[in-house]
Structure 1
Amino acid sequence: MTEALTAALRALLPPGVALVQADPSAPVTGLLPQEAAAMARAVPARQREFAAGRRAARAAMITLGLPPAPIPQGGDRAPVWPDGLTGTISHGAGTCLALVARIGDFAGLGLDLEPATALPDDLMDTVCTTQDRARHTSALAGRLIFCAKEATYKAQYSQSRQLLEFHDLAVTLSPDVSRFTATLLRPCPPFAEGTSFSGHLVIEDGIIAALITLPRESNTVFPDRRQ
């Protein structure tokens, strides 16, 4: 169970963002016809994760006072959110969480879940830039950086529709590892090289969660590039 993790994340959310947890080991229920086709050939574990994510996302819509709606999978495998909404779904470390908000309030949301264990040594060079490794040397640093980059990728993708590599971002962790900043090392329109994304890190229940919310500020224009 992830009550402590979910509660800690909810305490960090700005108004207008709903968070709901679901069990990815539960039986496959609640899929709508527009969603089920994407899972027709998936293995059972993937079907359960997918269904849990859609249940959580629809419950988050209801939390926002909105009617539940289908969330099909796009050709890029990303969720296709209903008109007027943005969101993110994350499965990992035995749980599933969904974030949903109105697109008029938030340009993007990012959430990633990882086990609170050291990143395998053979992945460190793949995930971490030279800057990342020079700045952070704790046993858990690699996993925290991985989680932060995954959440940043999800948050920016709703606007750019561009794939980022791990070395396209440099991450700085706060001394208490409760926050992070991920900086783009290349242009990713509409985001310029050097754009920084700030987020939160939470470690609870043996799980690391990285969270980013991108507000749609009145003086910043983020074109809606959803497919």
Structure 2
Amino acid sequence: MLASLLPPQVTAVDTYHDSPEPHSGARLLFPQEEALVAAAVAKRRHEFTTVRHCARTALASFGLPPAPVLPGPRGAPRWPDGMVGSLTHCAGYRAAAVARDTTVAALGIDAEPAEPLRDEGVLNLVTLAGERTALRALAAHHPGVPWDRLLFSAKESVYKAWSPLTGRWLGFQDARVTLRPDGTFTAGLLVPGTTRAGTTLTGFDGRWQVCDGLVVTAVTVPPEHGARTA
């Protein structure tokens, strides 16, 4: 499902099932990774293990050997030199997407259950007033899509793409997301972006899909790191 939202230079690996526990000497986690989930409950350990299996499978398609995928600043995964990527997991789904940094500047992916946000307070926290107005219009004309959850997921994907480019935090209300029924969205930054080679990042373009009980979103930033530029 995720691959359909990404360009061909990105390799995506996803699964609806967790990896089995190690057996016969197989190693699913490296010692550094094991240390991160040593005290975790089974659910957390399983999702952590499986999403890293997805990441290593994706990296192997570029000829890279298995290696730990460890969190860096602000919790974002650290990738091998020359690579960019993103991870996501939710109930019943785990996925990874990776690409060479010569073809993609940054990636952001997110998956959520395809159901409305349960708390109106959460909606107010993660959206702008104009976004809430747009959500009501979308729901009226295109019922059956959990537009509020989709907006939340889109902002998660935007943050995952933003963070490695800038090294800065991006709040939910620091970007204005416009969802379109055709499966695309844009995110305009309300804070200063970043500039490279004379190109200033002012926003992101993304794609979305609702399928198999899931909402999935993806943002791909081209090498000049300006999916939308000033």
* Structure 2 spans left out of the alignment, 5+ residues: 23-27
Indicate yes or no: 2:152 matched with 1:146: yes
Aligned pairs, how many? 212
Write the deviation string for residues 32-77 of structure 1: whole angstroms up to 9, x where unpaired. 1232221122222111111111100000011233323221222532
* TM-score normalized by the length of structure 1: 0.85
Alignment partners' CA distance in 2, 1:147 and 1:71: 23
Find the residue that maps to 1:14 and give its secondary structure: coil
Letter in 2 for 1:167: Q
Deviations 1:206-225 (A, max 9, x none): 100001111103999xxxxx
Which residues of 2 match residues 38-49 of structure 1 at below 5 A? 38-49=36-47
Please give the residue correspondences for 1:50-199 in structure 2 after superposition, counting only pairs within 5 Å.
Answer: 50-120=48-118, 121-137=120-136, 138=139, 140-174=146-180, 176-190=181-195, 195-199=202-206
* Inter-partner Cα distance in structure 1 for 2:215 and 2:106: 20
**Aligned with 1:13 (options 6, 28, 40):** 6
| Unpaired runs of at least 5, structure 1 | 1-5, 221-227
The answer (yes or no) to whether the contact 1:88–1:110 under 8 Å persists in 2 is yes
Q: Which has the larger radius of gyration?
A: 2
> In 2, are the aligned partners of 1:90 and 1:96 still within 8 Å (CA)?
yes
1:203 to 184, 193, 210: 210
Conserved in 2, the CA contact under 8 Å of 1:23 and 1:52?
no
Root mean square deviation, CA, Å: 2.4
Give the TM-score, by structure 2 length.
0.84
Aligned-pair identity in percent equals 39
Partners of 1:22 and 1:190 lie apart in 2 by: 36
Alignment deviations for residues 92-117 of structure 1 (CA, whole Å, 9 cap, x no partner): 13110000111121111010001111
Higher mean alpha-carbon deviation, 155-164 vs 14-23, is at: 14-23
- Counterpart of 1:76 in structure 2: which amino acid? R
**Would the alpha carbon gap of residues 77 and 28 (structure 1) be closer, same or farther in structure 2, given more than 3 Å must change?**
farther
The one-letter code sitting in structure 1 at the alignment partner of 2:130 is: Q
Distance 1:194 1:128, change over 3 A: farther
- Give 1:117's aligned amino acid: E
In the alignment, the residues of structure 2 paired with residue 200 and residue 63 of structure 1 have an alpha-carbon distance, to the nearest angstrom, of 23
CA positional deviation for 1:193: 9.0
Q: Go from structure 1 to structure 2 and tell me whether the alpha carbon gap of 1:164 and 1:193 turns closer, same or farther (over 3 Å shift).
A: farther
Alpha-carbon separation, structure 2, partners of 1:59 and 1:112: 18
Distance 2:48 2:213 in 1: 22
Deviation of 1:118 after TM superposition, in Å, equals: 1.1
User: SS at the partner of 1:31?
Assistant: coil
Asked if structure 1 preserves the Cα contact closer than 8 Å seen for 2:201 and 2:226, the reply is: no
Residue type of the alignment partner of 1:105: T
**1:128–1:167: 8 Å Cα contact kept in structure 2?**
yes
Judging changes above 3 Å, is the alpha-carbon distance between structure 1 residues 194 and 160 closer, same or farther for their aligned structure 2 residues?
closer
Conserved? CA contact 1:57–1:98, under 8 Å? yes
Between the aligned partners of 2:106 and 2:176, the Cα distance in structure 1 is: 19
**Distance verdict in 2 for CA 1:108–1:76, change over 3 Å:** same
